[in-house]
Structures are given as structure tokens and as C-alpha cells.
Amino acid sequence: MPSLGFLKKKRTKDSSGSRDLNIDSPSSPVKEKDTSTTPVTPTVPSNSASDPSSAQPTQPSSQPSSSSHNPQDSLIQSSRAAEPMNSSPYPQQFGHPQPSASSPQPYHPQPQQTHNLPSIQNLINPSNNADASQSNFANDAQAKAMAQNGQAVTPSGQQQSQVRTTKGKYSLGDFTIQRTLGTGSFGRVHLVQSKHNQRFYAIKVLKKAQVVKMKQVEHTNDERKMLQKVKHPFLITLWGTFQDSKNLYMVMDFVEGGELFSLLRKSQRFPNPVAKFYAAEVTLALDYLHSLNIIYRDLKPENLLLDRHGHLKITDFGFAKEVPDITWTLCGTPDYLAPEVVASKGYNKSVDWWSLGILIFEMLCGFTPFWDSGSPMKIYENILKGRVKYPPYVHPDAQDLLQKLITPDLTKRLGNLHGGSKDVMQHPWFAEVTWERLAKKDIDAPYVPPVRAGAGDASQFDKYPEETEAYGQAGDDPHGHLFGEF
């Protein structure tokens, strides 16, 4: 097991991107637009026991992540013992409650069967049972063919390039602010409850002046643009945006299970099948994003949230960008930067596959391969040297995959070759993964967060001092023209 010394590093972003806390719930927060413009002061209600959502149908939801923090702090602040890797079938059902016909429906995950759900062992040894071949895809054979060919595997009904309307759909008057879930360089993320359907969401609040000061206008607009385009089981959902004279607001689903980062720090490192499960879900998400020419550029455990069933949601699209050919921006987290980014060379989707390798390494080992005393410059030097030491407990197939992902040679890096994501998905480490079943979450997650579904349970998130400045104030808006699509 790695020593605690490996757990003391603090992650910092090279480009001060805002933290994103997002989620995925089956209905829009409002049915009718509330035009109230009264300033709202974010305060925590004194009585949360009388939660109106308790009468609502059970919904599978996910939750925002908190801002980047010291890994050691996660170990100190958490009083909950590390949860065992649960291999038993889910006690909850996957079925999504149907939203009313009058509410906007930007995202419709397909309902999932609750019988014969395989356990984590089936990820490694998939069942040959005939019932297992039944799926929620419109054409399961086509889905399998897509998986074999390395194409994005997504449930039927998902249109990859459909752009949702998000601008001005909601206002502060539509929500009751509950508490802060996380803070970042430009603002914070709040847990909120819709006054219309009583469900819980997350609102990311960004201070315009700070975004402009840190020269993150383009990244902020890109985040909204990318989230508006995507819908996938393992990606966060943006329901709508709005703004006032001082702040930008992004309404997203509340992902209850917290960060994978926190679970990893409690566990120190994951067993090979567990790391494989999470890596496979991330691979499907990257495959989908790349099919839209979107580069994510900030993959790390802090940006991976667990929904209440234990499946992943990738959040924080602050560095995501549509890149059909090449880009040069230096952004990301030092430990996860690809050498072509560090060397200020042009790059493309290849950087996400490098980051996937770093993520798998950290899940298996408990530390990143180029970490050195938390010094970004030293980390950059190590990345450019490219020397990786693999602990003896790393599975040979895993090491082979890592060596083909964490390579500075772009002509050899898996995911960047002619076969694209197919080369990653068909690697021996993933050989037994049934991709089409995983894409519809028809495989049990190895860990189910201990949360109360649909009750606004934020117990898996750290507590923060609440914002004292009232939201929704009118006045001069010198920066509003920079954020016209909010």
C-alpha cells in the first residue's frame, strides 16, 4: 500500500478554471417560469427535516463535485469508514420517473431493467444467459457492433449533436438555496430545491468580475456551450443558465454520491476489477465526447462524481473545447498534463487518452506517476522525462495498457492511432468488458454511496461557509456583453 506521503499533494489547476458540480436527474426544475427578481441571500434553512421531496417519486440523481482540495484533508475530515466494495445487486431500482408532459425534457435516459442485473464480477466474466442479451437499446446488435468498432456507445434516442436551449430558462425565484456543495476560484456550487417539482439540483454560481479578471471568459462560455451539446449516461447534465448584474448561474443535476477522489483516498488504491469498472465508464464518456470533436482536458478523480447507484458522472467542463483539428492552450491539472501540452506543442484528442492512463495509474496505485512534492515545475520535468515506475502489484495487462497510454510518442499512444477509441476498448485489460451493457448501466457498480435518494442528501460533500452577498441584485452590468448566451 502507498504511504501517506503520497496522499499529501494538493492539486492546482494551471489555468484557473472554475470547478463544476453537475448532475443528472430526469426532469426539468420548473414547469412555469417564475419571473421574480427579488435578491436572494443564500442561507441554509434551519429545518431540513421537513423535506418536501420525500413525497416525490424516487429518482436516480447525481451530484456536483467540490472544488479541488488537499487529498489529506479528505482523510481527516471524513468520519465515515471506508465502504467495502459492494458486489451485490442494487437494492434500488433503475427506473426513471416520468416527468410531466409540460416540462422541458432536454435529457431522456432510457429506462433500465431491474431484473437479472449482473454484479461487478460480470464485468470480468459476462454471463451468456439469453436474458442478458436484452437491452434498452433500440438495436442491441447495432450497439454491439458499435462497441466492437470503437464507436460511441449510447442508448437509443440520444442524438449526439442535438443542442438544447438553456438560456434564460430559469430564475433565482424558481429555487430555494439549501447549502454550499463546493467552492472554486470564481464562485461556488449550491444545492437547491425546485419550488415547482420539489426535486434537488445544483446551481453553479460564477462571479463575472472574477471570471474576467482571471481571463477565463472563453473557458466559461465554452463550458456552457459544451454542456449544452452533450447528453450521455456518464456526463453531467446542464438544465439551464441565467445571469444577473454580477453573477452567472448554471442549473445542473445534483449528483449525490460525492467525488471518486474521496473514495480513492479512503481506499488508498482500488483493486484491479474496481479500477477497470471506473476506467471503462470514463472510456465510454471520452469515446462519446470525441465523436463530437470535444476534448475534455481535465480528467482526474476530483471531476468524477458518483451517482446514488455508484456509476460515474464526469463534471466540470471548464476546460472542455470543441477541437476538430488542433489547439495549443495550456490548461489542466499538472499531474495529468500530457507532454505535448507541457511542451507547448499543438495537440488534439490524444491528451485525453494520456490523462486516462494517469487516472488508471492513480486508481491502481494511489498516487500519480509523475508526482513530486506537489511542485508543478518538478512534475512538468518528470512528465517530459517520461520515466514511469510500476509497482509489482499492478496487473500485467494493466501495465501494458498504461505503457501504451502514458507514452510521449503520439504514433504509439492508444486512442490516437487509426483505430481511435477502438484500440483502447479492445485492449486485453478490457477484454471481458461488455461495453453495450455497461453503457446502459446494466452492470452493478462496485460501491454504492450511503445516501438517501431524492432527499437532498449532501452528506458526501464537505461543508463550507455560506455566501453572504445576496444574489439577484440589479445594477450596472459592465461584463454582461461577454456572456450573451447565458
DSSP string, 206-238: EEHHHHHHTT-HHHHHHHHHHHHH---TTB-BE
Residue 309 lies in a domain: no
Q: What is the pLDDT of residues 206-222, one digit of tens each?
A: 999 999 999 999 999 99
> Among all chains, which residue has been given the C-alpha cell 460564477?
206
Residue 226 lies in a domain: yes
**pLDDT over 50 at 447, yes or no:** yes
Residue 188 lies in a domain: yes
**pLDDT over 80 at 342, yes or no:** yes
| Mean pLDDT, residues 169-196 | 94
Q: What is the pLDDT of residues 102-142, one digit of tens each?
A: 333 333 333 333 333 333 344 333 443 333 333 333 344 44
What is the enclosing helix (H) or strand (E) of 283?
Answer: helix 272-291
Beta bridge partners of 322: 294
Hey, is 441 helix, strand or coil? coil
How many C-beta neighbours within 10 Å does residue 38 have? 10
Residue 468 lies in a domain: yes
CATH code, domain with 219: 3.30.200.20
| Mean pLDDT, residues 277-291 | 98
**pLDDT over 90 at 43, yes or no:** no
> Among all chains, which residue has been given the C-alpha cell 462496485?
446
Dist. CA 446–CA 119, nearest whole Å: 8
Residue 80 lies in a domain: yes
How far is Cα of residue 190 from the mean position of the Cα atoms in its chain? 17
What is the enclosing helix (H) or strand (E) of 384?
Answer: helix 376-385
177 vs 4, higher pLDDT: 177
CA torsion sign for 201, 444, 151, 258 is: positive
How many C-beta neighbours within 10 Å does residue 357 have? 26
Residue 184: what pLDDT? 86
| Mean pLDDT, residues 181-204 | 94
Residue 16: what pLDDT? 38
Dist. CA 48–CA 71, nearest whole Å: 30
Domain range for residue 249?
A: 15-85+164-257+450-483
Residue 294 lies in a domain: no
Instruction: Assess contact for 204 and 189: CB atoms under 8 A.
Output: yes
Q: How far is CA 261 from CA 68, 146, 191, in A?
A: 10, 31, 20
Beta bridge partners of 203: 190, 251
Identify each DSSP E strand in 312-383 by its residue range: 312-314, 321-322
What percent of the chain has a predicted confidence (pLDDT) above 70? 67
Residue 166: what pLDDT? 83
Residue 418 lies in a domain: no
What is the enclosing helix (H) or strand (E) of 190?
Answer: strand 187-194
Catalytic residue list? 298
Per 3-state DSSP, the chain is made up of helix, strand and coil in percentages (nearest 5) of: 30, 10, 60
In this prediction, residue 31 has a pLDDT band, given cuts at 50, 70 and 90, of: low
What's the chain's average pLDDT?
A: 77
Q: What is the pTM of this model?
A: 0.72
CA torsion sign for 295, 297, 303, 306 is: positive
453 vs 126, higher pLDDT: 453
Does the annotation list 204 as a binding residue? Answer: yes
Residue 469, class by beta-carbon neighbours within 10 Å (0-12 exposed, 13-18 middle, 19+ buried)? Answer: exposed
**Looking at the 3D structure of the chain, how many domains does it have?**
1
Residue 342 lies in a domain: no
How far is Cα of residue 256 from the mean position of the Cα atoms in its chain? 12
What percent of the chain has a predicted confidence (pLDDT) above 90? 62
Residue 40: what pLDDT? 57
Residue 337: what pLDDT? 97
